[in-house]
A and B are shown apart, each in its own frame.
Chain A
């Protein structure tokens, strides 16, 4: 068996320098990352509800099936994507963080259904005032998602994601899904075309934003 090569002087100097600069660090815990994300999501939700109010039926303790299912799908997507982002922040050969794809596939049924139903109704079934309301769902949902987005990016910067572009994409999806969840607690519209189009839009927009800007913020 051969002996390992003697370390170069440069490496020794580097090691001495790194040892000299050692400060205690707190390991990044999965639970802490998830807690931070959920606190950000809760803050976004509380803020939106405080500003715009709860849907009348929710406030009265009544529930609409379409609203429950669609809101639940976005919440599930937000949780699954956040889970993946927190896992990605801590590198490990053998890491598994593909579960968000299943949640995204399920939530993807909403825009798909919206497309099918919208086409089957014809193009003149969305009055202008509903389109304006849709724009509000999009803008407020996307704005609310920025709180979660900031929390996830901060966490990723502390960590060491080995696929920064994917981490940025998934962080955007997580943030967008939580933002849409928050505004869905206010939005009174139960129409699948509205939900599939305008409530999915923040997720797509934030995914694009995350993919575009996050990698340069978290590359190491």
Chain B
């Protein structure tokens, strides 16, 4: 099923009313959407965990979606929250290779761009964005990120810390 806004919103409204069939379809669609959403923004080895964590968050917080409001920006806020939390917990990714085949859904490119993780990361100063991408997403060590960016190791750590803190405060920003 296409993960378009109208369909997902309809399925979610049915799910809030307790319709299990609609909920199963919704979760399958959301799982695919989340895989695309997180692609290239998380080490592939951690993708399954993060998608599942987000599905559980969707489940436990499903009452926080208002049927009068759009669904995907709600899901994206939950996904961003889980993503930032995941990055904060992550010290070093096991895998460094990025999957190129996972590309975000773009049924509605304008919405997708506004709610994307790239948009969120882009709100950070470049120095912070770069080291978070290198260390937390691509899995480089602090020393490797330091060599790649020219920042001292201490500065890499500070920039990661400050950048993640900022991200946590900007989750709902477009």
Task: Give the docked Cα–Cα distance between A8 and B76 (Å).
Answer: 22
Residues of B within 8 Å of A24, CB to CB, are 16-18
- What number of B residues sit within 8 Å (CB to CB) of A? 49
Q: Which of B65, B73, B102, B172 contacts A5 (CB 8 A)?
A: B102
Q: Is A27 located at the chain interface by the 8 A CB criterion? A: yes
Q: Which of A11, A19, A92, A162 contacts B48 (CB 8 A)?
A: A11
Task: Give the docked Cα–Cα distance between A127 and B133 (Å).
Answer: 60
Residue of B nearest to A14 (CB): B52
Q: Is B66 located at the chain interface by the 8 A CB criterion? A: yes
Residues of A within 8 Å of B23, CB to CB, are 18-19, 22
Residues of B within 8 Å of A159, CB to CB, are 61, 63-64
Residue of A nearest to B62 (CB): A25
Q: Is B59 located at the chain interface by the 8 A CB criterion? A: yes
Q: Is A94 located at the chain interface by the 8 A CB criterion? A: yes
> Shortest Cβ distance from A81 into chain B, in angstroms?
17
Q: Is B122 located at the chain interface by the 8 A CB criterion? A: no
Highest count of chain A CB atoms <10 Å: which of B27, B69, B101, B115 = B27
Residues of A within 8 Å of B69, CB to CB, are 90, 92
Chain A interface mostly? loop
Task: Give the docked Cα–Cα distance between A159 and B172 (Å).
Answer: 15
Residues of B within 8 Å of A162, CB to CB, are 77-78, 80-81, 171-172
Given contacts A7-B28, A92-B172, contact A27 B60 (CB under 8 A): no
Within residues 1 to 50 of chain A, which ones have a CB less than 8 A from any CB in chain B?
2, 4-5, 7-8, 10-11, 14-16, 18-30
Contact (Cβ within 8 A) B57 A93: no
Given contacts A24-B16, A24-B17, contact A91 B81 (CB under 8 A): yes
Q: Is A160 located at the chain interface by the 8 A CB criterion? A: yes
Residue of B nearest to A20 (CB): B20
Contact (Cβ within 8 A) A19 B24: yes
Highest count of chain A CB atoms <10 Å: which of B24, B63, B80, B115 = B63
Residues of B within 8 Å of A95, CB to CB, are 77, 172
Contact (Cβ within 8 A) B115 A30: no
Given contacts A11-B31, A15-B31, A159-B64, contact A92 B24 (CB under 8 A): no
Q: Which residues of B contact A (CB under 8 A)?
A: 15-18, 20, 23-24, 27-28, 31-32, 35-36, 48, 51-52, 55-57, 59-67, 69-70, 73-74, 76-78, 80-81, 99, 101-103, 114-115, 168-169, 171-174
